[in-house]
Chain A
């Protein structure tokens, strides 16, 4: 990716110039209106009060004209408020905290790998190299069925894991928000790789005895970015149904998808994917604006599936022995980069301040007209957001995004630490990351958060939230007992 403009901020003179420029452009409308008002005021003062009265009388206002003007104003205001989309509030969310007995230290993982794949030492070596560089810690958890030697991925065990993860998250959500099961109007469950009949959403409805006229949806097969797709769906539904609550459950059930063969491209997910889940309560009720944590500003979805290479880069298939696994192609990072660029191009104009957009436009014009050798300007997204939640898909993803968006290590800390403590929990990782930021006491009212997720397809989805109220520590959540130990330094390679 190209580097920043030659206007580097080494000298403080440049820095002040830049700040002045940003303030000026970002507040141009305010400044213009202010200027006009000042001019008007000066003009008024100059004219004097008698002159003003004379002008006013000469306008010959008619009763009907005044009434029509008032009605017009009222009419326009009503249309405006009706057409304005409902504000979507994120009241609260709960992340699943795996039981400590499900912990999988590196040594145990490698030992099991060796015992199960005893005839394939090369595959075991490969797994060890992946694990060493993965950025995971010693406290990530796998579901009980995968702890067995050999693993026991039956459907019953998968259901048990689903019940454990989803029901704990839901119970936690009910406690945190005081929500009653009967008050849920919309239920969306997303779990990519486990899709039984009846669906997981039916399982939730059965467990909590939800209403019979509930609008329930179950999204499967949509990969790690399905969490934001569910949020998008919830948002659209909440525009149609006034005064409603929507619960979104994002999870990935590991049990049935533990690859038991020896193809290296398919062993990678085994090393990275871990147990996790989250339940989120969204609402469009006006009453929630006091206690809601966030407001949803934007959701931008980008799908690169039209490109064959992007479509095939994360592909579930059978290996030569008939064992099902997800194979990851080598060009995954390149495709992710492309998808990200596409997403940024769409979201940029919606969130970036005017100053950045102007610079980008000017450099673009300049490149076209003056000198094609000019490097394109990469907008500084740090101006648009205070916090970043990058899906903890793997260390490489976070590194790549940090480089591309020029983020500091504090910006990507939430993602790296979530990867370390919980592993890749797929669609729910964004919520663990958000909880990390809250637990560190960094979330203040008015802060904007950018959640980015990548997933098979190949998709890149973003959501932008604005913090509605400052969140105080300590925060009740999965980081409660360990937040003080973080951030930790994660070595490049852990010696196993």
Chain B
């Protein structure tokens, strides 16, 4: 079934209340580091059929307008401050919104979707030369002629990480239902370094995991591969994830069982290393985690708070035994996750600030990156006249290097352990991944496959 997306119109949606002029919001060091990346998300909905689609889009725009009153950072524009750092001028310019139509119904679409098609549902424009006139957020509302709606949200990583973006959608959904926003956004700088706990000499801390990782990213030259990337999406049921978690443990081990993230990340790390032909050891990999809880930030904090950290394997591992590989990988991942603490993050932030990091580096260009979005519940974004989203996809672009694995919650499942994994890889690797025995052991449902 041929499905095409036609853009009907493009406009700017502004908030309903005028903003006091002269407000500025600074961007934190973590925000500025993510300058070259952007996020694209798609939410799919089945419509109740009561309202004609044209009216539904109009109502959505109206509620978007109302919601934007709470997000002055989103309707503002980028400016450089005296030190050359990015900040946002809250000038009430608004969010670019596009409306589009697609043939067929949303279910048909989902059966045949692939990366290229899905990205047509979420508009994005790279930063203009003069970013003061460039919208940092884009919303695309695509109506399916035979039923259904897709809401595409894209934004620059400078302002938000995927968690903020999902909170943005949730706020919009809350307003559309006529409720107050459950966790209203708060814009403040990251918590400052607590001086009393400051170690006398930074260098005395031998494990500078975060700082050394960020340092290596900054120092490594960017080498962009000329390859075609594609994305596949797999759903793992509750039971399968449980099975995966038990397999990820060393037999007879008394250590606590791995989390679903640890297990699935380990699974993909091992499999992808095999696919890429790495015999001894694994492919270079970093994980990306949300550290809001560690930093003690409240629910409504709007800004980047996801950190990357490299996962190393211990020396002298016995990797000849293939059945050891998976548990080893999982354990290494778990160790890194457990090690990240408040002090280390504060040190990183301080280091980044002191070294006046030139943020022209890109994430996702070297290692395989495995991101955890488990704390996010995109399926809470229920709009009026539409039910729960039937599918949610997220892309953190651009992806070069070894690839990107995103682990998301799976709603269409009985248990809390179900997960959806979105993997962006070079095309050949992706094809091999779909056919890999180890992965197939866990009977994933292929939600989005690559087009051959």
Q: Are A and B genuine complex partners?
A: yes
- Within the complex, the shortest CB–CB distance from A347 to chain B, in Å, comes to 38
Q: Which residues from 113 to 141 on chain B have a C-beta closer than 8 Å to any C-beta of chain A?
A: 133
Which residues of the partner chain A approach B19 to less than 8 Å between Cβ atoms? 105, 138
Q: Are B11 and A149 in contact (CB under 8 A)?
A: yes
- CB-CB contacts below 8 Å: B58-106 with A: 61-62, 65, 77, 91-94, 96
Secondary structure call for the B interface: mixed
A152 within 8 A of B: yes
**A residues 111-146 in Cβ contact with B at 8 Å:** 111-112, 114-115, 137-139
Contact check, B93 vs A100: say whether CB atoms are below 8 A apart. Answer: no
B121 to chain A, nearest CB (A): 19
CA distance A240 to B92 in the complex (A): 53
Chain A residue at minimal CB-CB distance from B11:
A147
Residue of A nearest to B132 (CB): A111
Chain B residues, CB < 8 A from A112: 12
Check if B93 sits within 8 Å of A111, measured CB to CB: yes
**A43-B378 Cα distance, complex, nearest whole Å:** 101
CB-contact partner of A114 in B62, B94, B133, under 8 A? B133
CA–CA, A106 to B77, complex, Å?
13
Q: Which of A101, A105, A115, A494 contacts B92 (CB 8 A)?
A: A105
Q: Does B16 contact A (CB under 8 A)?
A: yes
From the candidates B9, B77, B91, B94, name the one contacting A148 in the complex (CB within 8 A): B9
Q: Does chain B have a CB within 8 A of A359?
A: no
Whether B61 and A108, one on each chain, are in contact in the complex, defined by CB atoms closer than 8 angstroms, is no
**Contact assessment for A107 and B77 in the assembled complex, using a CB-CB cutoff below 8 Å:** yes
B61 lies within 8 A of A101 (CB): yes
Chain B residue with Cβ nearest A111: B133
B93, A105: Cβ atoms closer than 8 Å: yes
Interface size on A, residues (CB 8 A): 22
Q: How far is the CB of B8 from chain A (nearest CB, A)?
A: 10
- Chain B's nearest CB lies how many Å from the CB of A479? 16
Query: How many whole Å from A284's CB to the nearest CB in chain B?
Result: 42
Q: In whole Å, how far is B219's beta carbon from the nearest beta carbon of chain A?
A: 38
Q: A100-B16, A147-B11 are in contact. Are A108 and B62 (CB under 8 A)?
A: no
Could you say which residues of chain B place their CB within 8 Å of the CB of A100?
16, 65
User: Is B14 part of the contact surface with A, judged by Cβ < 8 Å?
Assistant: yes
Does A104 count as interface, using CB distance less than 8 angstroms?
A: yes
With A147-B11, A152-B9 in contact, do A101 and B18 touch (Cβ < 8 Å)?
A: no
Q: Is the CB of A149 within 8 A of B12?
A: yes
B residues within 8 A CB of A115? 133
**Could you tell me the distance between the alpha carbons of A114 and B130 in the complex, rounded to whole angstroms?**
11
Could you tell me if B10 and A108 are in contact, using CB atoms closer than 8 angstroms? no
A108: chain B residues at CB < 8 Å are 12, 14, 92-94
Please report the C-alpha to C-alpha distance between residue A101 and residue B17 in the assembled complex, in whole angstroms. 10
A147 to B62, CA, bound (A): 14
Q: Are A147 and B12 in contact (CB under 8 A)?
A: yes
Structural contact, B61 and A107, CB atoms closer than 8 A: no
A-contact bits for B177-207, CB 8 A (1 contact / 0 none):
0000000000000000000000000000000
Minimum CB distance partner of B20 in chain A: A138
Residue of A101, A107, A148 near B10 (CB, 8 A) is A148
Assuming the contacts A105-B93, A105-B94, A138-B92, asked whether A111 and B12 have C-beta atoms less than 8 A apart, the reply is yes
CB distance from A79 to the nearest CB of B (A): 60
Question: Contact between B18 and A107 (Cβ–Cβ < 8 Å)?
Answer: no
Q: Which of A297-312 contact B (CB under 8 A)?
A: none
Query: Nearest-CB distance from A296 to chain B (Å)?
Result: 37
Name A139's contact: one of B10, B18, B94 (CB within 8 Å).
Answer: B18
Provide 19 A-B residue pairs closer than 8 Å at the C-beta atoms, listed in order of the A residue: A100-B16, A100-B65, A103-B14, A105-B18, A106-B91, A107-B77, A107-B94, A108-B12, A108-B93, A114-B133, A115-B133, A137-B18, A138-B19, A139-B18, A147-B12, A148-B9, A148-B11, A149-B11, A149-B96
User: Which 8 A-B pairs rank lowest in CB-CB distance, beginning with the nearest?
Assistant: A107-B93, A138-B18, A107-B91, A105-B92, A147-B11, A100-B16, A149-B10, A101-B65
**Apart from A106-B91, A115-B133, A149-B11, what are 9 other A-B pairs with CB-CB below 8 Å?**
A104-B14, A105-B19, A105-B94, A108-B93, A112-B12, A137-B18, A139-B18, A149-B10, A149-B96
